[in-house]
Structures are given as structure tokens and as C-alpha cells.
Amino acid sequence: MSNDTAIKVENVSKTFRLPHDKNNSIKGAVINFYRRKRTFEKQLVLNDVSFDIKKGEFFGIVGRNGSGKSTLLKLLAGIYSPSKGSITINGKLTPFIELGVGFSPELSGRDNIFLNGALLGFNRSEMEAMYDDIVSFAELERFMDQKLKNYSSGMQVRLAFSIAIRAKSDILLLDEVLAVGDAAFQKKCVDYFKKLKKAKQTVVLVSHDMSTVEEYCDRALLLHDGILRASGNPKEIAAKYRLLNLPTKKSEPETPLKLFGDVTIDKVLINGSDEVVVGENEELTVDITYTPKKTKKFIAAMSISHSDGNHVAYYDTRKERKIVGHKGESYRATCRFKANQFLEGAYRIDVDLYDDDLIYLANKPDAARFSITKTSPAKAGHFNLQGKWQIQKN
Amino acid sequence: MFKRLYSKQNRALLSELVRTDFKLRYQGSVLGYAWSLLRPLLIFVILYVVFVKFLKLGTGVPHYPVYLLFGIVMWNFFTEMTMQSLGSIVGRGDLIRKIRIPRWLIVFSSSIGTVINLLMNLLVIAVFMIIGHIGIMPTILWLPLIFVEIYLLALGMSLFLSAAFVKYRDMTYIWEVILQAGFYLTPILYPLSRITNLTFQKIILINPMAQAIQDGRYALITHQTLTAHKIFQGGWDEIIPFAVVVIVLVGGLVYFRKQSKYFAENI
């Protein structure tokens, strides 16, 4: 392994045995052995994952719930051991995965600081030395002799975070740190991340929050159903992640429409594929292929919805020259548009076909998807307003 | 393994885990730490009334009350350590699932807690020895070795039990029954001399706990105690109890090492 690599993961797979019935007894084991029956199924949580992380890199791991990202982090931390493949760690790793691990509700805040510190590898005298800083950073001076169970959850997180950021090691593993806490706490997290990044600390961050990943990570990888879908530029990874998060709407509309089957929509492609990730300066091309069953004029339409469910655009061929569709022949309607009309996010295209009298003939919901990578300067909302400001003194 | 045991991180973690266990043990009790002294005292009073005053079991054994109590203290050391370690891995499941710490450290820390308790109990024994005017014999120097033997036996058992408990939750019940049987098969309440059949005596002394308890009483209280050395008369079979200790320790270590890789996913 080359010297500037911090973590090397080679062909790692992880399988869990999931018992069908909770079978934690010897009687159960004996009976099953006797029957030679397997009462568990194997679940492949990670499938042949390989990547490496360089020293000094801020590396993100993203994926939906159940995609295997926490399992991957636990494998990196050495909590699980891989079923196949190997993981090589070059340097010292913090064992810390989540905030407040090992907190004991029956102990005082003070005792918990020392216990948690020990889990991070600090002995008592080292902890004494930073005790005051930890307490004041957490803003909990008055509460240190109270039992932890009497703390609010926000106080517990503040305390855990104040200890956790003391961790010193070559590689830091962080899981969903920013998922909790109020605005003031999140500000502290952000400052901490900035500090880490400035210090060229190697960090592996698992997160759902794409803006954090885009802002801090040098590289990221996307896991989906245990498979490494993509790795590289965090902006692209975030855009791909958003695509995965589009609500799937394969079902019929709420009130079933009576569709006249005068035409079939064969396929819909965006830039030649089902889904695509593009930058703001690129162009998108949507191809709708349809085959009429009756000879008549058709109108093709696409509706574009944002991943938050809002319908953001509708565009059809009504303005264009209409050609007559002949029965049995195949036609293609192509629409080109600039990506920068949309803001950062993932979008879904639903395709509908009408005839000249706007009688609804066929539809294909969720026909194609696209995701736009982060636009700069950052804008928010659904609409890329292209206005001009002018400021003058009255 | 032993080099890693002395690393700074492990020492810090061990001391915090032991402290936590100790603080949590008497959490919410009015008398707190005093219980670790009060418990053996109260047990002693009960045993004294039942076995010395009512049953008169120990007639002929010098200093029988302390002899009895000392046996109980040694047996309890073994019982407590194995029972507490048994649940230790599962009890610390939150740590094991989320943090990479040496797994054996958890079993080890719970065993240290029992050693502290043992020292308190020995303090009570010392008080009774003074009250009972029992002179200290030079053989007391053997005592630490005897406790090391019990400790290693209990540690081997603890490693095995704590790892097995992750997979099989019946372990508690099975082990309770075994301990109960062991309590009566070990000459704790009754003097070994009450059993007159030499073969039975030998069978009983194969058990390392019986051998250790008898040797401990011999070393501390009275040389009249029947020890394994006296029963086996220096034959080769005298080493059987020690061999059992080695087998249990090595077996426990091997099983624990093999299983510990999967603790995080099996808990």
C-alpha cells in the first residue's frame, strides 16, 4: 500500500445471518441441528466494495437508509469483520462511531466525561487537563454533578460532542453527527468541520445531509443496496443521491383516468439513458418514442416534478408543427433544453400523450429522471430566476 | 495480548470501566459501599446460627466458624466472578456494537470488580481471625497463589460463558444449576473429613475449587484440613485439579477469541 493511502478497502463483502425466528436457546440449536434445517437467511449487506481514501482527505459516504453505509463504517472501525475481502488501515483510527456511546444515564455528567474520554483513549490525568474546556464548550457548568438521565437530549448531545471533538488520531470516523442539535449546536459542528479540513485531517463522514457532503468532502462514494454505485466528486455524488431519493410514483394517478389506448409510449430517454446527472451548463435531451395504433395527430407532453413532490414545469408539442402519426409506425418526439433553467436537485419526468382534441391517450409516469449538480452561487427554490439587480441611492 | 493490555489506552479504559461498574453496583442503595462488607457479615451470622449452633456440623474442626466463612468467601469469589462476567458482554452490547475496544477488556474489568469485593471480604475474615484468636501461620504465604488459581479458573470460565451467552441465552440458567450442584459437591458447609470413603474424597478433590478451598483453609486456618496433597498422597493424580484449571483457561480463551469477531453482529 502506498504511503499516502490512509484506508484501502479491497473487494469487501459482508453477509449477515438473519435468523427467521429468534433462536437464542440451546434447545432451538439442538432441534435445528437434528432437523438439519436452516432457520436463517443470509443477507448480503455489502457486495464487493473497493475504494481507497488518501491521507488528509475528507471523505463522504452517502446512501439511503439500509444501503449498507453504517455497516461499511463499522467494518472500517473494526467492529465487524468482513465476510470477504480485506481492509487495510494505515494509521491510528478513532474508535468513535456515534455521539454519546457508552454514556451511562445513572452516572453524573462528570463521571460520564471520564468514561467517554477513556473510550477515546485518554487517561484520567489527560482528561483532568481538558475537563474545564469540555464543560465550558458544552455550556453545562451548572449540571456536571447531576445524573445524565436528568439531562435533556440536547444537553447530552452537547456534552458528547464536546468530548468527541477532543479525539486525536490519524483517521476520524463520524456517523451522522449533524443529524441532531439546534442551530447553535450545528454552528459548532460546522466550525469543527472547518477546523478539521484546515488541519488536513483524514475524515470519513457518513451523512444524509448532502449540503455537508458537498461543502466539506473532497471525495465521496454512493452506496445503494450494498453496491458501490459511484465515487468521486461530491457534487456529482450528491446529485446521484438525490436521483435515488426521488419518490417513485409508478402507480396510477389518484383518480384513474380513462385512457384511450390509441397509442403506446415505447420508451423515454434522457441524454440516451433512464437517468442522468448533469452540471448547470449542460444541455438535456428528452426522446419520447411512441407507436400509434390509430392514425391521427398526437401531442406529446412532459411534466417535471422536483424530488420534494412539487410540480415545477410542463411542456408539450402543441406549439410545434404537428405531424400525422400513422398506425403501426414509430415516431420520436425530441425536446432539448438547458439544464440551468433548473436549480440543484433531482427531477422526475412524467410523459403523457394526447390527441389533437386534448383527449388523454397514454401516460408513462416516472419515465426518466435527471439531477442537477450544485449551482454556484447557491440559490434556493425551484426556479432559476434570471433577473438583473440595480442598486442606487435615492 | 499482554503487551497490548498495558497500552495506555487500555489501562485508562479498564480503570474507567471498573470505576463505572463499582459506582453503578450500589447505585441508589442507602448504605452504598458498606454493603460489600455487610453482605459477608450477615451471611456469616446466618451460617453460624444454622451450622454451628443448630446442626453442630463442625465439631472436631478447630475454628470451624471462620473455617466455614472462609470457604464461603472463596466459593463466592468464583461464583460472583463467573455470574457477573457471564452477562458482561451482552450487558455492554451498546459499546460493542458501536465502538472498537478489545472485547476481553470488558470481561477483564468485570473480573477486577469481583477481586475488589474479595479483598473486602478478606478484611472481614481478618477481623474474625483476630476475634477468634487464630494465629497466623507461615503457610499464609501460599494464599495469594491459591487465589490466583481460583482467579484463572474463574477467568477461563467467564470468557467461555460470556461468549456463549451472546449466542445462547440459556447459559444463565444452566450455569446457575451447575453452580448450585458445585456448591454441594464442594466441601464448603461440611468438613471433607465427614466423608469417610477415600474414593469419594478423591473424586471431590478433582474439582479445582474443592482443592483450592481445602488448601486455602490449610494455609490460613488449620493444618488439620484435609488437602489434596494428603488425600492423593503425592501421587501423579494430584495435578489433575491444576490441569483442569489450565484446560478451562485455554479453552475459554480460544473460544472467546473465535467468537469475539462476531459479537457486534450477534448481540
User: Is A95 part of the contact surface with chain B (CB cutoff 8 Å)?
Assistant: yes
**Tell me, what's the pLDDT at A33?**
64
Q: Per-residue pLDDT for A117 more than 80?
A: yes
**Tell me, what's the pLDDT at A21?**
61
All domains of chain A in start order, with CATH: 5-244 (3.40.50.300), 263-372 (2.70.50.60)
Q: Per-residue pLDDT for A36 more than 60?
A: no
Q: Which of these, B215, B256, B194, B198, lies nearest to B70 by C-alpha position?
A: B215
Closest CB to B24 among A81, A101, A106 = A106
Mean pLDDT (chain B, rounded): 89
Amino acid at B222: T
Instruction: Report the number of distinct structural domains present in chain B.
Output: 1
**Tell me, what's the pLDDT at A7?**
93
pLDDT, tens digit (0-9, with 9 covering 90-100), for A64-108: 888 888 899 999 988 898 999 999 999 888 767 778 888 888 889
Could you give the residue ranges of the DSSP H alpha helices within chain A? 26-35, 69-77, 109-119, 124-138, 153-164, 183-198, 210-216, 234-244
Scanning every residue of chain A, which has its alpha carbon at the shortest distance from the alpha carbon of B17?
A115
Closest CB to A98 among B98, B169, B170 = B98
**Tell me, what's the pLDDT at A379?**
73
Q: Is there a contact between B100 and A95 if contact means CB atoms under 8 Å apart?
A: yes
- Cell readout for A337 is 433544453
pTM assigned to the model? 0.81
**Tell me, what's the pLDDT at B4?**
61
pLDDT, tens digit (0-9, with 9 covering 90-100), for B94-118: 889 888 888 999 999 999 989 998 9
User: How far from A238 is each of A52, A229, A279, A309, A311, CA to CA, in Å?
Assistant: 19, 12, 12, 18, 21
Indicate the pLDDT class of residue B185, thresholds 50, 70 and 90: very high
Query: Which of B4, B13, B175 best probes binding to A when mutated, by most A CB atoms within 10 angstroms?
Result: B13
Quote the minimal CA–CA distance from B225 to chain A in Å: 41
List CB contacts of A328: < 8 A, sequence separation 6 or more: A291, A292, A293
- Cell readout for B205 is 478433590
Indicate the pLDDT class of residue B22, thresholds 50, 70 and 90: confident
How far, in whole angstroms, is CA B97 from its chain's centroid? 29
- Cell readout for A148 is 445524565
**Tell me, what's the pLDDT at A22?**
56
pLDDT, tens digit (0-9, with 9 covering 90-100), for A298-343: 899 999 998 888 889 999 888 887 778 888 899 999 999 998 888 8
User: How far from B10 is each of A119, A275, A306, B89, B223, CA to CA, in Å?
Assistant: 9, 51, 52, 17, 42
Question: Angle B117-B121-B124 (CA atoms, 0-180°, nearest 5)?
Answer: 150
**Tell me, what's the pLDDT at B174?**
95
Indicate the pLDDT class of residue A189, thresholds 50, 70 and 90: confident
Q: Per-residue pLDDT for A206 more than 60?
A: yes
Q: Is there a contact between B20 and A104 if contact means CB atoms under 8 Å apart?
A: yes
Q: Per-residue pLDDT for A271 more than 90?
A: yes
Which residue(s) pair with B216 in the sheet?
none
Q: Are A203 and A58 in contact (CB under 8 A)?
A: yes
DSSP A112-124: HHHHHHHHTT--H
Least confident interval from A235-239, A386-390, B210-214, B233-237: B233-237
Range of the domain at B256: 2-266
Q: Per-residue pLDDT for A128 more than 70?
A: yes
Q: What residues of chain A lie within 8 A of the CB of B262, using their CB? A: 81
pLDDT, tens digit (0-9, with 9 covering 90-100), for A229-250: 999 999 899 999 988 887 765 5
pLDDT, tens digit (0-9, with 9 covering 90-100), for B30-67: 777 788 788 878 888 888 888 888 888 877 888 888 89
Q: Is there a contact between B100 and A16 if contact means CB atoms under 8 Å apart?
A: no
Percent of chain B at pLDDT > 70 equals 98
Q: Per-residue pLDDT for A382 more than 90?
A: no
**Tell me, what's the pLDDT at B233?**
84
Q: What residues of chain B lie within 8 A of the CB of A106, using their CB? A: 24, 27-28
Q: Which of these, B235, B16, B220, lies nearest to B109 by C-alpha position?
A: B16
Q: Per-residue pLDDT for B5 more than 70?
A: no
Q: Is there a contact between A119 and B13 if contact means CB atoms under 8 Å apart?
A: yes
Q: How many CA atoms lie within 13 A of B14 on its CB side?
A: 18
Percent of chain A at pLDDT > 70 equals 89
Q: What residues of chain A lie within 8 A of the CB of B21, using their CB? A: none
**Tell me, what's the pLDDT at A62?**
92
Top-confidence range, A258-272, B37-51, B68-82: B68-82
Quote the minimal CA–CA distance from A117 to chain B in Å: 8
**Tell me, what's the pLDDT at A20?**
65
Work out the average pLDDT over B228-243.
87
